[in-house]
Structure 1
Amino acid sequence: MTDLFATVGKLAPVVLVFGGGVVFARRKIIGADASKAFSEFAFLFAIPCYLFGSLYASDLGRLFDVRGMLAYLSAAVIAMALVAVGARRVLGADARATALRIMATVQVNTTYFAIPVFVLLFGDASPIFPTILLQVCVFTVVVVAVMESGAGHQDQDVSAARAVLRGVRSALTTPLVLACYLGIGANLLHVPAPGPLLAALSFTGAAAAPVALFAFGLHLGGSGLRWRGATRDEYALIAIKCLAMPLLVFALCVGVFRVENPWLSYLVLTAAMPAPQNLFVFAQRYDADVDLAASVVAKTTLAALALIPLWLLVTR
């Protein structure tokens, strides 16, 4: 019980900043529409600064645990297959709706939730970096390809193949991903970086966690939650994301790949993070279950906050 209280105590800053955003939006102290400005500062500037500086200074051999990443990738592939079969056969979902459900269950909200939480729990978000690259370079590519192939070719001047390539290129050239590539490249090539530059990156990156959490709280406080009228499909996605996926990662890490701590905790916690915020963006862009996407992102965020202390205790 003491360990549980200690773990909950570590999450107090997350709850404070996230909850502060919700309260400020609810009381209209800061308009919920201001969350876009906070989010763009975090996503386009502060978090890329943090990622580049951290990756540049990291021991990449320690950072990329091969067995751990194989366990996580295996769990994701199994989950993707099960969700795809269920969506198609049980719900009769089309390609875009199926891809959206896959995205909701195997991808995580790294930028606005996982990075701040890892910083507060472990003092370092570097263990989440391999997942960011895996998510962007593999999972997002799969989702974009399926979404584009099922989009009905609304733009007659753009072929399906070109549309897929355009979407993939867009995913791979975001500031978040470019910062990862540049940080890893500079690390491997031993490119010298001036001390003042690293200090500036560290100063800016320190703002990433609280600003991102506050922005997400503002957004949630303004949009609210839809509790009534939720479908079984919605709650199934929440259960898979917050319970089944971390349990699957834990089982594969312990029973198959023999992954030990601290990577066992890192990977299970990563899997337990909420659905990605850009799930809503994809839903809007491809006109696929927009209300479902918004609700799943919000509810998995609240569920993750409640369950993270338990996952920490399970993996010790």
Structure 2
Amino acid sequence: MNFKKIFRYSALLIFGLLWYLGFSESTAKWLFEHHYISDDYRYGDLYRLSNLSAFRVPVEKCPTPVASASTNTNLYLIGDSFTEKERLEKNHFKGLASFHRYFIADTTYINLDSTKKNILIIETVERHARERFANVYSNLRIGENLGKISLQNKENSIKKAISVSIPYNTQRHEGILFSSDFFLTIKELKAWFNWKVLDRIDEKVRLSKDGKHILYYLDAQPRGINSCFDKVEEAEINKIVDNLNQTYEYYKKMGFDEVYLTIAPNKTSILASDLGKYNHLIERIQQHPKLQMPYFDVYTPFKNSKKMLYDIGDTHWNCEGKQIWLDMVNAQL
């Protein structure tokens, strides 16, 4: 028996299987569901980027609410990662006939049930508010071109099926291979050395002045449309408010009974606004005298609270922070 050949082919097989994990999303999902690999985000997205041990705290698991009696209300939520489906479900809201959630960057076509009360909430994190409302927001559309969209989706499926592109995902691959606590400890040692010896941390994170909070670089950087410290002229605020008013009217005319805005504050805005001159974007929009669109003000209770309302190693609100917003919504419902 040629042991060299056996070793060579065995190594090739193992290497091929490990490499395959970077291409198959379904395999990664199966491995996670059967507890063969750990959740890559279990300590938060910012810890995942930085591997700084001080922020290695499990993301808080929120209790699942008990379902409440159904009423005549349909709730439609357009949002980003603060209100993604992993964080919210129908039971979080009181007395709904149905709950529909869509990603804010997608264009989606729906039909409204006119026999029900239809409520729409548009949610965006602060760092993307200037981009989202640089124009009238109209990505959620009512009963338009449904047949055309169906045909387009079918064509896209065919193109995807015959595509020769390779669906390799570096982040997924690294998450599968190196997300165990053993490898995280090694990454932490490297991150500690870079920080303490070389005075360097991952370029996608920042630290507050006291070093107690880890932040996302987009909203903590000195300048840029996503930054808390980028100067926003009054003319731009006026334009955003005008676009919000037109967005409000657009959806009211489309058949929604109520339309609300939510701007989730950046972690930097609440915990590290002293890193620069804060532009007060949320307040300037919400307190604008010409704003007609109703809103849920999360910024004020967050800013006034002495509690930690964000997950330690994550950009998103924790259970208590999310509940502040849910209480506002449910009171209105």
Check whether TM > 0.5. Answer: no
TM-score (norm 2): 0.30
- Considering Cα pairs closer than 8 Å and 6+ residues apart, tell me whether 1 or 2 has the greater RCO: 1
Which has more strand, going by share of residues? 2
Q: Which has the larger radius of gyration?
A: 2
